[in-house]
Structure 1
Amino acid sequence: YGFILGYKIFLDDYTESDLNEYINSYEDGIRNNISYSIPDKIIYSIAVNLYNDSEKGRRLLDDIIEYCRANS
C-alpha cells in the first residue's frame, strides 16, 4: 500500500483518508514488530507531514537520513 500512496502523493491525488489509513496501518505494524523498508519509512514520514504533523514528519525524515548515512 505504501507505493500506491507514494504515487498518489506524487500525482497530488490522495485524500486525508488515504493518509490516515496508511498511518494507522504503519503504526499497527510497528506495534506488531514489523520491520519496514526505507522507502516505506519515507512515505510514512511524508504522510505524517501531510496529515498536519509537519514537526513529527521532519523528525522522522531526519532519523531516516541519519540512519542511511550511518549505514551506507
Structure 2
Amino acid sequence: MTSKLETLRSRLLAVQRELLAAAAEVNAVPSDKALQKIANLEIAIGAIESMIDDETKVQQVSTI
C-alpha cells in the first residue's frame, strides 16, 4: 500500500507544481479557484504523507 500512496503523492505533487508554475507565469494574483486547488492539493498531500508515515511505523513494529 505504501508504494501506491507514494505514487499518488508524486502525481498530486506534479499537478500542484504545474498549477504553481502557471500561477507564477501570470502577472497578477492567481484566481481564487487556482489558489483553492493548490491549497486542496497541499491538504491531500499532507494526508497521504501522514498515512505513509503511519504505515511505515506499523511495518517497523511488525518486524521487531
Q: Same fold (TM over 0.5)?
A: no
TM-score, normalised relative to structure 1? 0.40
Larger Rg: 2
Asked which structure has the greater RCO (Cα within 8 Å, sep 6+), the reply is 2
